[in-house]
Structure 1
Amino acid sequence: MKKLLIVMAMVGLTLSANAQEDATPELKYSVATNSFWSNWFVEVGADWNAWYSNEEHGQDLRRLPLRKFRSNPGAALAIGKWFTPGLGLRTKAQGIWGKAVVDGDNYGNCNKYWTLNEQVMFNLSNLFCGYNENRVWNVIPFAGAGVSRSMTYNRYGFVASVGVQSSWKVAKHLNVYAEGGWNLMSGDADGVAAAPRHRGWDNQDNQLYAEVGLQFNLGKSTWNKVPDVDALNALHQSQIDALKNQLNDANAENERLKTLLANQKAAETTKEFVNTPISVFFNLGKSTIASQKDLVNVQALAKYAKDNGSKLVVNGYADKATGSAEFNKKLSEARANTVAKELVKMGVDNANIEAKGNGGVEELSPISFNRRATVQVAE
């Protein structure tokens, strides 16, 4: 029996190593928890079973698992769910054709049965190597417990199970798997209620099995990457900084004009006012005015133009660091036209307004200051 277990382990490792060579290399990453309805699977398999009953202890029967008096085919059906890439639960039913190995004359003795196990599964590939949705193979040991029933002899009993599974991804929702396992049952699972006379393995009825089958993944079978919180925070911070810069620019312009008006004579103030471009700012890629506060000084200049019959020039700009030259040219023209329409609403004759688009520039720093249009009296 020890030889059998060693052979099964070596086969599993060999298959896993071969599959690993075909795996698509990709960086592992942390995953977010999926909903309850994600990562379910159904397995359908065919078994070859070998039975070792407690009654055969001391009879020196052949121990090879493929001996006719102790082996039979079987079938398996399971449903399970992965709660994380490395931890899952599976409910597995096996059964139909078993053996009751009682003595050397027991060839062909049938024991129809079924077992129902609840098993914990550990995906070692994901636990030790990190989750990779393109991984071709996975190595998955499992252990659990449940109930067994001999339908031939109408007996129920306890069963414990342990084993290892290797699975290979062949399509998005389809895997092929092979597994080997051991079901340790109560001593009368084969229909013979022998008195306990031994310890461990020899005091129980045992089923060793090898199984191959198909695994069908239901619904979403992958795991989402955890969002990069640092990158999101950096993006939000850059947007906040841009708004702060725009506000600071507007406040600085207002303060400059207030100081100018307060400290100079009326005539000099008026001359400086009409010759100074008034800025109206826009958001990235937009031609709608970011803040109506920018129009306060524009309205004062519009009043001066109406009172004095002056012509006004509106220059539109975009920042050179973003967008193509063709796009920035059209965007700057749209911004100039937006401000020109506001001047018309303020009572300035459209014939006295000249609107020009100057494309992308980098005259001001930071670059966001260039997303503007200026208004001034024509020279």
Structure 2
Amino acid sequence: MKKLMFALAVASLSSGVYAQQGSSSSSSPVIVEESAEVMEVPTDKYKVETNRFFDNWFLSFGGGAQVLFDDYGNDLDFKKRISPTFNVAIGKWFTPGLGLRLQLSGIQAKSAARSDNAPYIRGGEQDGGFYKQKFNYLNLHGDILFNVSGMIAGYNPDRVYDFIPYTGFGYNRLLDKPHTRALAVNFGIINRFRITDAWDINLELSGMVTEDRFDGKVQGKAADMTIGASLGFAYNFTQRGFKHVPDVNAIMALSASQMDAINAALAEQIAQNQKLKKQLANQQPVEVVNEKVIVKEVPAAPQSIFFEIGSSVLPPKSEVNLQTIAQMMKDNPNMTLSLTGYADSDTGSAAWNKQLSENRANAVADALVKLGVNKNRLAVVGKGGVETLTPPSFNRRVIIEAQ
């Protein structure tokens, strides 16, 4: 009788719940509809799904101005040292907070020299006894991008502004003869403003520290440096954004509250049964001839235990569900359970996911055995990686089903 009531309660609860993902964006929230009420499945704003290799690539380009600070640059009026600059880059965001890019920048630099034998001289001697220098160059550098906004406030696909410092290493080559070459350290800040899903505006403040020979003059100074600013655009290819990971602990807490509600309903039914038994005991017995009562056992609706990505460790919140299932097994000594483990096919190899799914199923089996269930009554199997449910994190589970 307990098994029958448990099955009906769980089945009625399970049949009214389904999950779906918004179709307009990969970052749309997962929605659950229950009894005509809509609620959002809790997610962890600091955790996202691992993206695919071709997701979150971008191409950026911009132009602006810069100033060179070197040995004798101060001899030249500051306004006359301002020179044009450009940049073009390709990169990828691996997480909402961490990305890489390869950028080509440069174009022109202006300075001063105190000898007409210095390279890159333009014109004759100026008032003050110095000579103007102007040369063209290219700087190729790789940078690590840190989206501080995402790191501090969590991933938000609709955020309009992102604060993105970066640092990296590069290589300079002058296009004028002599073709000086120099190593460089690059740094700066990208102020990114989202316009659409595909386009951003970038206001970039950039700096470069390079070897003293960069300007063709080696005067004992530690290094030369450029400081610049540029305005440009970034185009985001194909799939942009990340998928939030559902908060497993919150989901398990929700599941625990549902189990509490089921247990309360069962307790109420038991009390009602006791009341009916007392009423029947006070009535005259009625003889029933040739009447058969057939009770068909209804297996309990499948239960799911969810796991973190790449893990086979049982979440703490799963203990409530497992205790209830263990008690049901004790109350129904002829019942057996199948424990079917799964992993999501979006992460890991097929062999890894197969082993992970088996480990998850065995973890549930071990927990039930510790709660007093005979291991011979448990059928354990791992199905490997699947993509049955959306989002992929819902596939990281073990399904418990009565046989």
Could you state the TM-score of these two structures normalised by the residue count of structure 2? 0.49
- Give 1:73's aligned residue: 84
Q: Distance in 2 between matches of 1:83 and 1:63?
A: 44
- Give 2:385's aligned residue: none
Query: How far did 1:279 drift?
Result: 6.1
CA distance 1:183–1:278, shift in 2 (3 Å): closer
Q: Distance in 2 between matches of 1:235 and 1:137?
A: 34
CA distance 1:172–1:28, shift in 2 (3 Å): farther
- Give 1:130's aligned residue: 154
- Give 1:89's aligned residue: 100
Matches within 5 A, 1:214-253: 214-230=233-249, 233=252
- Give 1:182's aligned residue: 207
Q: 1:115 aligns with which of 128, 139, 147?
A: 139
Matches within 5 A, 1:209-288: 209-230=228-249, 233=252, 270-271=289-290, 273-274=291-292, 276=293
CA distance 1:231–1:140, shift in 2 (3 Å): closer
Larger strand fraction of residues: 2
Counterpart secondary structure, 1:188? helix
Q: Distance in 2 between matches of 1:228 and 1:38?
A: 23
Q: Distance in 1 between matches of 2:161 and 2:44?
A: 15
CA distance 1:280–1:195, shift in 2 (3 Å): closer
Q: Which has the larger radius of gyration?
A: 1
Larger helix fraction of residues: 1
1:28–1:131 contact (8 Å) kept in structure 2: no
Q: Distance in 1 between matches of 2:84 and 2:66?
A: 6
Q: Which runs of 5+ in 1 are unaligned?
A: 1-26, 250-267, 285-379
Query: How far did 1:162 drift?
Result: 1.4
CA distance 1:31–1:102, shift in 2 (3 Å): same
Matches within 5 A, 1:313-332: none
- Give 2:163's aligned residue: 139
Query: How far did 1:232 drift?
Result: 5.3
- Give 1:31's aligned residue: 47
2:44–2:247 contact (8 Å) kept in structure 1: no
CA distance 1:195–1:107, shift in 2 (3 Å): closer
Q: Distance in 1 between matches of 2:167 and 2:54?
A: 24
Q: Distance in 2 between matches of 1:208 and 1:132?
A: 31
Q: Deviations over 1:48-100 (max 9, x none)?
A: 1211222x07xx52563x33xx2211211111111221111121110222224
Q: Distance in 1 between matches of 2:149 and 2:108?
A: 34
Counterpart secondary structure, 2:239? coil
Could you state the TM-score of these two structures normalised by the residue count of structure 1? 0.52
1:51–1:101 contact (8 Å) kept in structure 2: no
2:162–2:191 contact (8 Å) kept in structure 1: yes
Q: Distance in 2 between matches of 1:28 and 1:165?
A: 26
1:182–1:209 contact (8 Å) kept in structure 2: yes
2:79 is the alignment partner of 1:43: no
1:45–1:75 contact (8 Å) kept in structure 2: yes
The residue type paired with residue 104 of structure 2 is A
Q: Deviations over 1:307-343 (max 9, x none)?
A: xxxxxxxxxxxxxxxxxxxxxxxxxxxxxxxxxxxxx
Counterpart secondary structure, 1:189? helix
CA distance 1:72–1:107, shift in 2 (3 Å): farther
Query: How far did 1:116 drift?
Result: 0.9
With a CA cutoff of 8 Å and minimum separation of 6, indicate the structure with the bigger relative contact order. Answer: 2
Aligned residues: 233
1:53–1:102 contact (8 Å) kept in structure 2: no
CA distance 1:177–1:28, shift in 2 (3 Å): farther
Query: How far did 1:31 drift?
Result: 2.7
- Give 1:61's aligned residue: 75
Superposed CA RMSD? 4.2
Identity of aligned residues (%): 24
Query: How far did 1:43 drift?
Result: 0.7
Q: Distance in 1 between matches of 2:92 and 2:217?
A: 37
1:31–1:223 contact (8 Å) kept in structure 2: no
Q: Distance in 2 between matches of 1:62 and 1:109?
A: 10
Q: Which runs of 5+ in 2 are unaligned?
A: 1-42, 115-124, 270-286, 302-403
Q: Distance in 2 between matches of 1:156 and 1:38?
A: 35
2:76–2:132 contact (8 Å) kept in structure 1: no
Q: Distance in 1 between matches of 2:295 and 2:194?
A: 65
Counterpart secondary structure, 1:37? coil
- Give 1:253's aligned residue: none
